[in-house]
């Protein structure tokens, strides 16, 4: 099956017992065990739930693997993937301009449990090699990165990790497996905030972990059950419903993002456009070799902080909000939102200055999105 067909027909497409085209929501917390001598398939809602299980099969099929796990948020998924691999005394090498919540998790949370980290600029794989220590157990990638859309050569980092027997994980939230199948590129664990493009409608908080490795899958399953940050049956149904339209949404949103980026580079109030679909973007060739699209997130450096603030105050169509990946366009301010957890000096050193806004491009007519930004920028 081709990718678009597979999303709709390989998992969670029909309810086996009735043929219903929508998977039922099973709210039950517990199950009658008719035969106490045999191991029950369904026992307790945290350990496994039929609706969640269908969502998990769908997540696995998206990344082209056997094992998928649905969590109550993207952060719960990241935490589960990290703690499935690491123990006290271990070290992580992570992308430097990682999602702000992952930054907080590594620097303020897991560090208290004796796990150390080094952030590196992964646009150059040599930096990963240099950062590896005796106790490095995990390389955590995020590409394209947030909010500057820096691109990591996934195959090159995987090759380095394999030589050193290190597990690789990749936060694939921005691309989704529809555009970037990271397990096919050799990554061990794919992580998603399903709150974003997978859910797709700004009405769900969810996370996902996928892996083809049975041993890692067992560890993730253990953490999911032991820590309990599972996706609820209702939200599992919402996630399945959202994923059904993933390909159509991504196709239109990526096309809109490209048109918007091409328009933005011609504006005199824009000093830089970060979009890997532009041939001038330093990661353009890399992303073309490892993904089938460029995503729907465009970041823009304006000619002043004042311009950024003015745009946020004047836009009417764009929502000024945290998050991305919904059907409606969202403009975010990394400084106050996704990257507020990073101290200002560090944030600026990463290139995330106060004149940068991030655009998650939705399904609207791109002409309207352009008109709205154009009006807002004329202050």
Known catalytic membership, residue 99: yes
Task: List C-alpha distances in Å: 79 to 90, 189, 207.
Answer: 15, 13, 10
Stretch that binds ligand PLP, among 81-89, 162-170, 189-197, 281-289 (CB under 6 A): 189-197
Is 26 an active-site residue? Answer: no
Task: Tell me if the bond preceding 147 is cis, omega within 30° of 0.
Answer: yes
Q: Which spans in the chain are helix H? A: 3-9, 50-63, 74-85, 100-104, 125-131, 154-163, 176-179, 214-227, 233-244, 246-264, 284-290, 305-314, 344-349, 366-377
Q: Which of 11, 75, 217, 243 is in the footprint of ligand PLP by CB under 6 A?
A: 75
Q: Out of 61, 73, 211, 329, which residue is the one contacting ligand PLP (CB under 6 A)? A: 73
Question: Taking every pair of C-alpha atoms in the chain, what is the biggest distance, in angstroms?
Answer: 74
Residues 236-255 that bind ligand PLP (CB under 6 A): none
Q: Note whether 207 binds ligand PLP by CB under 6 A.
A: yes
In the complex, the smallest distance separating the C-beta of residue 325 from ligand PLP, rounded to whole angstroms, is 8
> With respect to ligand PLP, which residue has the nearer C-beta, 132 or 179?
179
Peptide bond into 144 cis (omega under 30): yes
Stretch that binds ligand PLP, among 3-11, 81-89, 192-200, 259-267 (CB under 6 A): 192-200
Q: How many residues belong to the chain?
A: 379
Question: Does residue 195 interact with ligand PLP by CB under 6 A?
Answer: yes
Give me the least distance between CB of 71 and ligand PLP, in Å please: 8
**Should residue 146 be labelled a site residue for ligand PLP when binding is judged by CB under 6 A?**
yes
Q: Considering only 29-37, 97-105, 157-165, 211-219, which stretch makes contact with ligand PLP by CB under 6 A?
A: 97-105
Binding-site string for ligand PLP from residue 261 to residue 290, where x marks contact by CB under 6 A and - marks none: ------------------------------
Q: Which residue number has the CB closest to ligand PLP?
A: 74
44-52 contacts at long range (C-beta below 8 A, 24 or more positions apart): 45/230, 45/233, 46/225, 46/228, 46/230, 47/225, 49/230, 49/233, 49/236, 50/24, 50/26, 51/23, 51/24, 51/25, 51/26, 51/233, 51/236, 51/237, 51/240, 52/230, 52/231, 52/232, 52/233, 52/236
* Binder among 123, 173, 299, 360 for ligand PLP (CB under 6 A): 173
φ/ψ of 299, rounded to 5, equals -110, 150
Helix (H, G, I), strand (E, B) or coil at 93: strand
**Considering the complex, what minimum distance in angstroms separates the CB of residue 203 from ligand PLP?**
13
Q: Which stretch binds ligand PLP (CB under 6 A): 52-60, 83-91, 94-102, 123-131?
A: 94-102
Report, as residue numbers or ranges, the catalytic residues. Answer: 46, 99, 171, 196
The contact set with ligand PLP (CB under 6 A) reads 73-75, 99, 101-102, 142, 146, 171, 173-174, 193, 195-196, 205, 207
């Amino acid at each position: 099956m081709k990718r678009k067909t597979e999303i709709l027909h390989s998992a969670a497409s029909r309810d086996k017992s009735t043929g219903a085209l929508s998977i039922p929501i099973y709210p039950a917390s517990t199950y009658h065990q008719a035969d106490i001598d045999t191991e029950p398939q369904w026992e307790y809602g945290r350990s496994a739930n039929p609706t969640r299980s269908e969502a998990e099969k769908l997540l696995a099929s998206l990344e082209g693997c056997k094992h998928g796990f649905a969590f109550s948020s993207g952060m719960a998924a990241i935490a589960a993937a990290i703690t499935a691999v690491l123990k006290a005394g271990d070290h992580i090498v992570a992308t430097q301009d990682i999602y702000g919540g992952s930054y907080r998790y590594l620097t303020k949370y897991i560090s208290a449990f004796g796990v150390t980290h080094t952030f590196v600029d992964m646009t150059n794989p040599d930096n990963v090699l240099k950062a590896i220590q005796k106790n490095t157990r995990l390389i955590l990638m995020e590409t394209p990165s947030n909010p500057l859309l820096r691109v990591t050569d996934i195959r090159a980092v995987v090759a380095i990790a394999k030589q050193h027997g290190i597990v690789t994980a990749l936060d694939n939230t921005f691309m989704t497996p529809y555009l970037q199948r990271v397990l096919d590129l050799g990554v061990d664990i794919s992580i998603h905030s399903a709150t974003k493009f997978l859910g797709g409608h700004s009405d769900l908080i969810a996370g996902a972990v996928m892996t083809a490795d049975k041993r890692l899958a067992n560890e993730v399953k253990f953490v999911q059950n032991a820590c309990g940050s599972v996706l609820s049956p209702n939200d599992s149904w919402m996630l399945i419903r959202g994923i059904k339209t993933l390909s159509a949404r991504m196709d239109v949103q990526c096309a809109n993002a490209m048109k918007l980026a091409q328009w933005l580079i011609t504006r005199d109030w824009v000093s830089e456009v970060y979009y890997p679909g532009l041939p001038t973007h330093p990661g353009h060739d890399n992303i073309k070799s490892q993904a089938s699209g460029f995503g729907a997130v465009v970041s823009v450096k304006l000619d002043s902080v004042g311009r950024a603030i003015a745009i946020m105050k004047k836009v009417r169509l764009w929502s000024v909000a945290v998050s991305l990946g919904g059907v409606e366009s969202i403009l975010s301010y990394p400084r106050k939102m996704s990257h507020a957890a990073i101290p200002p000096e560090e944030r600026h050193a990463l290139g995330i200055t106060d004149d940068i806004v991030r655009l998650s491009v939705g399904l609207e007519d791109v002409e309207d999105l352009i008109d709205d930004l154009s009006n807002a920028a004329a202050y």
